[in-house]
Chains A and B, each alone.
Chain A
């Protein structure tokens, strides 16, 4: 059968581009997959710094699981629970699981707010959670405002199957990428003029890729903005417990306790993939203050229920308060240490990062290394970093950043030695650039960085391509 006729048999969703996997964000994976770094087997390979994964606290979780065999139903101690767990497919989820998650969410916010277990709705990872929320809040063609730079997959998660469009609200370094009410108002008005129905605002707090947290005043102004326009606020707080310094994290759940607000407009998306480093478990949570959304979302969770075996394990783990308290503390400490090590290393070679207090990455400023302050220049620099420096970092443009020259670099998915190797490579590269620019200044030559533009392939390039046997995963922290 001819390919075109085959394609005809498929739906628009199956054949359009909104899955976003053709973007340069994923092109870096390809380079990594072809040539992954290994300290012994492949020391010249590409180091993966484009995957926001937290591997710093695996040992804590491992230890807990080993000490609590009852929580695993495949053990002699736990197998008697097997029957009840295997048969359980209620979309409400285990009560103990919901309670444990609510407990963890509260502790991640320093105990300043409590969460109601009956509002916890499961979904297939945060990916599924964002999609579910959009299905509940918006019709095809509706729009959500999103401050940019933002997580690249928001477009897929929020819009691919839902038909919702995302309107970026650009923030730039002039005010440290803060989102302002004025910018929101302007974006909202423009959308109105274009006859686009804005249904809400989606924010990531702490931010991906910036790693910053929203301060109280900004949060309050956002809440008052959405209240005024009677649109929804979706707060993706997936990095809530990945905060390692000040300013500390303030959740929207705290803000609505302090000010007048229509709670039916407030929704939180959460997951254990970042804070606990368990993306393989596929635990996504929708927490909404709107009963209709909880109701609808709950029914939709049939499309992405958390495995009952996983629910059972986590119910046990997350209600162990001693473990949770220690984990949150240790996680922060280790992230702080790693962040400091990395940023200091960059500082030594004159590379600055946006000041941040959360996340598994830094927002690196390479503007001065650009030939021109253009997107093309940024892409050229990025290709050099992948092909010559052999680091997979993510270019700012893939985060819809309007200002060229920024790169997101993840630091929590490797051990200390690998970080040193990465810093060394960056040092060498920067020094080479400085020599080059001196020469350029002297000779007024037009330097052409040699590379061949890569064709973006259809082959899948998402974090999940990384096999568990990859050398980085085995690297000891």
Chain B
């Protein structure tokens, strides 16, 4: 005999509840009821699911965000009847409601607005709070964590004073006119500046290759150049393979707003941190197994933080690999003009020149922040062999164009080939002197550096000083160096280095006297480490 269905509380609350929660609840309750009815009869059979349902509703109410309505439809959203549970997303393509509270910023903003937790950024912050100054603050923190070059400003100042203009305005048709700098200009750079930069790049790379200005897109610094390339080459959730150790800023430039992942491909000191194709292949396959699409490889050549060059052979192998897997190569060559060794720098462009191969997957990033020591002026270059990428990148430069007066100022400087030649040679000499002094100083302390011939830094192996051969040990040493020796160096872990104990030390912001002081400070800490170990 069928009993009339009793008016159970849960059906009441179900009618009260306007959302889809009711449907889910029913899916839970009916089977539950059936199960429980077998044992405890109708009362238990109704009470338990009822109680469950009540608590479920309570939970939903507590975690419901202020807005009514169910899930927004977005392609990456899986269908669900529980719109209000918080999702933590590492990738910004998942639509999240952000933090609970009356005012919601985007999930990107919430994660970024937190204080910097990488040692790379913490160190930079600490230095700005307590910067070393020979006279005013001799006990301050000495900056060795920022790859800036202060060695050749005198040359540029001399050039400027020999080539002074009456003002920042150009001479347009004989009069000092603002029409050269004030109005809208092409967002990807003035043609004259592109021509000047193409020639500059060629000169800086020893004239082994020439660059075509029509394949260039200029941006406000290499930072947006990298980000724009990433936006053009990859969708959110895709990945780039990056040999480690790599520049900590890549994590921001390539991942932050693009939603792209960086997959480290670990390199070893036994190879002098040169990438091996085997490791690359392994990383590629592992990534693919995880269901992530690899869109390209990101290399820095000359390398940051190691300071070595990729040999020709390796570049060929990378090209073959990229072709085989149908992926891109982005080559960050921003230190190409900061060579101090005797090795020869080979640009990706040079390799392509020689071969008649598919060039559509090769893109080079450059800038004036390192080689010409003008980071404040924000000059970056995307050089691509892919017409479609150039077209897309050009449109994206609307968000990151170089200031017109800055372009005008630099055109004449960068086109002065005689001056640039003198600058490159002097720069090379001075970096080498500083490098030799610094590396020798470290050697006296028993600290060896990786073989390097370019860049504004050295890659020092301080693993002998760390208490435990681990990232923890490395960070403890970093902390000692920052707070006791009062020098800011970049620990290998911030660069995703797989071997603990390596540190990047930039020496081109120092004078010769400063180097002596730095070595002395490291010595003191090194001694305490040796005592305690």
Contacts and interface: CB of A to CB of B under 8 A. Distances in A.
Interface of A: 1, 6-7, 9-15, 19, 21, 51, 53, 55, 58, 61-62, 65-66, 69, 71-76, 79-80, 82-83, 85-89, 124-125, 127-128, 131, 135-142, 156-157, 161, 163, 192, 195-197, 199, 230, 232, 262, 264-265, 277-282, 290-293, 295-296, 299-300, 302-310, 313, 458, 460, 462-468, 473-474
A264 B101 CA distance: 12
Contacts of A11: 231-235, 238, 295
B169 A65 contact: yes
Contacts of B179: 58, 468, 473-474
A139 B107 contact: yes
18 contacts: A9-B328, A11-B231, A11-B238, A12-B235, A86-B153, A138-B106, A139-B106, A197-B67, A230-B66, A230-B102, A230-B103, A232-B103, A280-B181, A290-B103, A302-B224, A303-B220, A464-B398, A468-B180
Nearest to B394: A460
Contact of B405 (A7, A277, A280): A280
Contacts of A1: 358, 360
B400 A128 contact: yes
Contacts of A473: 179, 183
Nearest to B232: A14
B375 interface: yes
Contacts of B256: 300
Interface stretch (B70-78, B201-209, B265-273): B70-78
B93 interface: yes
Main secondary structure of the interface of B (DSSP, over half): loop
For chain B, the bracket of interface size reads 35 or more
Given A197-B72, A296-B108, A89 B409 contact: no
Contact of B183 (A80, A85, A138, A468): A468
Given A13-B232, A230-B102, A303-B227, A161 B257 contact: yes
A313 B72 contact: no
Nearest to A134: B106
Given A10-B233, A11-B234, A195 B183 contact: no
A135 B256 CA distance: 10
B185 A74 contact: no
A79 B112 CA distance: 37
A7 to B, nearest CB: 6
Contacts of B165: 72, 74-75
A140 B109 contact: no
Nearest to B169: A65
B186 interface: yes
A156 B397 CA distance: 12
A278 B182 contact: yes
Interface in B372-415: 373-378, 386-389, 391-392, 394-396, 398-406, 409
B105 A292 contact: yes
Contact of B388 (A6, A291, A307): A6
Given A280-B404, A281-B403, A14 B231 contact: yes
Contacts of B68: 192
Interface stretch (B40-48, B155-163, B340-348, B518-526): B155-163
B93 A310 contact: no
A41 to B, nearest CB: 14
Contacts of B66: 230
Contact of A464 (B105, B113, B173, B186): B186
Nearest to A77: B164
Given A79-B161, A140-B92, A279 B182 contact: yes
Contacts of B163: 74
Contacts of A15: 388, 392
Contacts of B492: none
B493 interface: no
A4 B391 CA distance: 15
Given A9-B328, A192-B69, A303 B399 contact: yes
Given A230-B103, A304-B224, A21 B395 contact: yes
Given A75-B166, A75-B167, A88-B376, A139 B96 contact: yes
Contact of A466 (B74, B109, B184, B375): B184
A464 B96 CA distance: 37
Contacts of B183: 53, 55, 277, 279-280, 466, 468, 473
Interface of B: 66-74, 77, 92-93, 95-98, 102-110, 112-113, 148, 150, 153, 156-157, 160-161, 163-169, 172-173, 176-187, 220-221, 223-224, 227, 231-236, 238, 252, 256-257, 295, 326, 328, 358, 360-361, 369, 373-378, 386-389, 391-392, 394-396, 398-406, 409
Contact of A125 (B106, B173, B401): B401
A292 B169 CA distance: 38
| Residue with the highest number of chain B CB atoms closer than 10 Å, among A6, A282, A295 | A282
A144 to B, nearest CB: 12
Given A87-B150, A135-B106, A69 B182 contact: no
B112 A74 contact: no
Contacts of A137: 105-106, 109
Contact of B167 (A66, A141, A291, A305): A66
A463 B187 CA distance: 9
Contacts of A474: 172-173, 179
Nearest to A295: B113
A87 B373 contact: yes
A295 B112 contact: yes
A195 B223 contact: no
B352 to A, nearest CB: 14
A137 to B, nearest CB: 6
Nearest to B153: A83
B160 A79 contact: yes
Given A66-B167, A74-B409, A293-B105, A86 B181 contact: no
B167 A262 contact: no
A307 to B, nearest CB: 4
| Residue with the highest number of chain B CB atoms closer than 10 Å, among A9, A262, A463 | A9
A138 B256 CA distance: 14
A86 B373 contact: yes
Nearest to B190: A468
Contacts of A460: 394-395
Contacts of B409: 73-74, 309
B456 to A, nearest CB: 13
B371 to A, nearest CB: 13
A88 B221 CA distance: 13
B164 A307 contact: no
A139 B108 contact: yes
A62 B177 contact: yes
A40 B101 CA distance: 64
B233 A281 contact: no
Nearest to B260: A11
Please name the 10 residue pairs, one residue from A and one from B, whose CB atoms are nearest each other, closest first. Answer: A308-B376, A280-B404, A141-B74, A14-B392, A72-B168, A307-B403, A89-B375, A296-B109, A14-B232, A295-B113
A35 B186 CA distance: 18
Given A192-B68, A464-B185, 8 more contacts: A75-B166, A87-B150, A139-B106, A141-B73, A163-B93, A292-B109, A300-B257, A460-B395
A62 B396 CA distance: 31
Contact of B182 (A86, A277, A305): A277
A127 B399 contact: yes
Contacts of B150: 83, 87
A310 B407 CA distance: 11
A65 B168 contact: yes
Nearest to B392: A14
Given A9-B233, A11-B232, A192-B69, A296 B105 contact: yes
A278 B185 CA distance: 11
Nearest to B509: A87
| Residue with the highest number of chain A CB atoms closer than 10 Å, among B97, B234, B400 | B400
A142 B377 CA distance: 35
Nearest to A140: B93
Contacts of B153: 82-83, 86-87
B69 A305 contact: no
